[in-house]
Amino acid sequence: MASMKVLFVCMGNICRSPTAHGVFRQYVHESGLSHAVTVDSAGTHAYHVGEAPDQRSQEHASRRGYDLSDLQARQLNAADFDEYDLLLVMDWDNYALTEQQCPPQKKHKIRRLTEFCKTLEASVVPDPYYKGEEGFEEVLDLVEDACDGLLEHVKARLNQ
């Protein structure tokens, strides 16, 4: 069977990308595809390397049944463009910064996570860091919706 590797990317890898990582990892597990799909996350900046996800991200995710406690922030690196099939960024700044580091022949791998949204309309997953409780809930709403669509996409790619 084919395999696929998905990397979620935000700025510091402590809010949005680890949330997406945790949600999608669970969706992959629940669909029985853990043997075929690798999920990870990274940040465009090295602000929080080695740190756990933001406590608020962990709390909000936990309320919906997602465990982020084993995740640690890391910075996007050159090897990621070879290793991963999809690099899913959270916003336009992440897109630009990821694209700047990416070899030209690999740029097709970079997409916005919200391209996979099925019901919600959003061009980006906004940074919740300074927004309070509702910001973290909005991130989860968008991430869950996008991960539904992403799972369909990944299943289709695996079956090609």
| Cα distance between the two ends of the chain | 10
CB 145 within 8 A of CB 22: no
Structure tokens at 62: 């936990």
Q: In this structure, which amino acid lies at residue 60?
A: H
Nearest to 7 by CA among 106, 136, 123, 145: 106
The closest of 10, 6, 5 to 95, measured between CA atoms, is 10
- Say if strands 37-43 and 110-112 run parallel, antiparallel, or are unpaired: unpaired
What residues act catalytically? 10, 16, 127
Q: What pairs with residue 37 in β-bridges? A: 4
Determine the 3-state secondary structure of 4 from DSSP: strand
